Amino acid sequence: MTQACQCRPCRAQRAFRYWGRRLLVGVVVLTLVGSPLLGLGVLAQRAIFPPERAVWFANLLTLATKANLAYQREPAVDGRPRDWTEFYEQVKEIVYQIEEENASLQLVDPTGFAFVDYGPGRRSAVAGSYSSVRGNIVLNERFIQAAWGDQSFLSVLIHEIVHSQGYFVGTSETLESQTEIVATEVLAAMANLNYPGARRELLDGLRRDALTMAYYLARFDGDPHHTTYGAYPVASPWNDGDPDLLAEWERVRASIFTPAELARSDKRIRWWLERPEEYVQVLAKYVVTTTTMELDAACGSGRIGENFLQYDYLGIQDQLAWDRASRTWVMAPFAAWGDIIALPPLEMDDLAYVLGGLGYC
Ligand SMILES: [Zn+2]
């Protein structure tokens, strides 16, 4: 059976019917937190605190502060599209930007999009997901809700579109961190090219990620993580963290966030601390490894120090599938994937440009 209709709205509707069957990879958005300098001399005297962690903690609070100052100067532009036409234009631009960054050797058009209700609990945790089987993307319907006030729509959309280029090789830790690092550089490229809302969202993400990683170091005795391959440094979800560092972190966060942002941040942290083991994993995967490697590259050699991986895309192929609604076997389109491609090290030049402009590196 061939597909009767290849138009994007039709494909989106089809994807909506099938989205729930198989989801592989997702992104968890942390609406966490928000920094003046710490006295490095004081920290260096703390024997229980590894030197690298102390340096990173101080640098992260500096980055959060500088990113916030720039964020406050940005006009409040909403990066979300107003209709499906604008949405698909945005998708097309993102696919091209991924290719321009040399982050993909192939241009893959996702087969469909839908906004979905993930249900209680997951609604707060999961921002979007990509099915490598169907080739479609679903996004949390909360992005439609003004009350969520979520500025991370563009980042999440880019993240899922990076997955759709074949970024799902390896463990969840490896593939999610690689996907998110590419997404950050693509967002930085779009910010430098002046796509509406991109710079504001990038700066908002930088201040939040810097605060979040600083929190991870202070609260869970975490450490920077310089590779997407290999295990995380051990961080305990059950200890109480370092009271002095947490106090410093609280002070900086309060200087950055508005009272409304602070209340929301506290609520989000409270929600996550009810799931401490998942929280540590999520922070490590989406914030700590990614922020460490992004700053290593952007403030260092300019490129990521490892090769990211993608699957070769073979196209959509019809295969037999069980249709639960009609309880019959039907031919249905599936995405087919081939060999693993090792990509050249990602250049973080656009992020470096933004961080240079902030006076960070
Ligand atoms: Zn993901």
pLDDT digits (tens, 9 = 90+) for 59-68: 999 999 999 9
Q: How far is the centre of ligand 1, averaged over its atoms, from the C-alpha of 48 (Å)?
A: 34
To the nearest whole percent, how much of the chain has pLDDT over 70?
Answer: 85
Name the token pair of 80: 């979300």
- What are the helix (H) ranges across the chain? 8-18, 40-44, 51-73, 84-100, 122-125, 153-164, 172-192, 198-220, 243-256, 259-273, 276-283, 289-298, 349-357
- Residue 172 Cα to ligand 1 middle (Å): 8
Cα(236) to centroid(ligand 1), Å: 24
Rounded Cα–Cα distance for residues 236 and 276 (Å): 9
Tokens 């609406």 correspond to what residue?
Answer: 31
DSSP 303: B
Question: What pLDDT is recorded for position 18?
Answer: 35
Alpha-carbon Rg for the chain, nearest whole angstrom, is 20
Under a CB-based contact definition with an 8 Å cutoff, are residues 40 and 55 in contact?
Answer: yes
If you measure from the C-alpha of residue 269 to the centroid of ligand 1, how many angstroms do you get, rounded to a whole number? 21
Q: What is the pLDDT of residues 250-260, one digit of tens each?
A: 999 999 999 99
**85: Cβ–Cβ under 8 A, 6 or more apart, which residues?**
none
What mean pLDDT value characterizes the chain? 86
Question: pLDDT tens digits, residue range 95-140?
Answer: 999 999 999 999 999 999 999 999 887 888 888 999 999 999 999 9
- Residue 7's φ and ψ, nearest 5 degrees, are -70, 150
CA of 183 to the centre of ligand 1 (A): 10
Q: How do residues 7-61 score in pLDDT, each as one tens digit?
A: 333 333 333 333 333 334 544 444 443 222 222 333 334 445 678 899 999 999 9
28 phi and psi angles, rounded to 5 deg: -105, 125
Q: 3-state class of 270 per DSSP?
A: helix
Q: Is the pLDDT of residue 232 over 90?
A: no
> What's the whole-model pTM score?
0.85
Count how many residues are written for the chain.
361
Neighbours of ion ligand 1 (CB under 5 A): 25, 27, 176, 179
pLDDT > 90? residue 235: no
Q: Please check whether residue 76 is in contact with residue 200, taking contact to mean a CB–CB distance below 8 angstroms.
A: yes
Confidence at residue 149, expressed as pLDDT on a 0 to 100 scale: 59
Mean pLDDT of 159-181: 97
Beta bridge partners of 114: 138
Using the mean position of ligand 1's atoms as its centre, give its distance from the Cα of residue 182 in Å.
11
The string of pLDDT tens digits covering residues 281-332 is 999 999 999 999 999 999 999 999 999 999 999 999 998 999 999 999 999 8
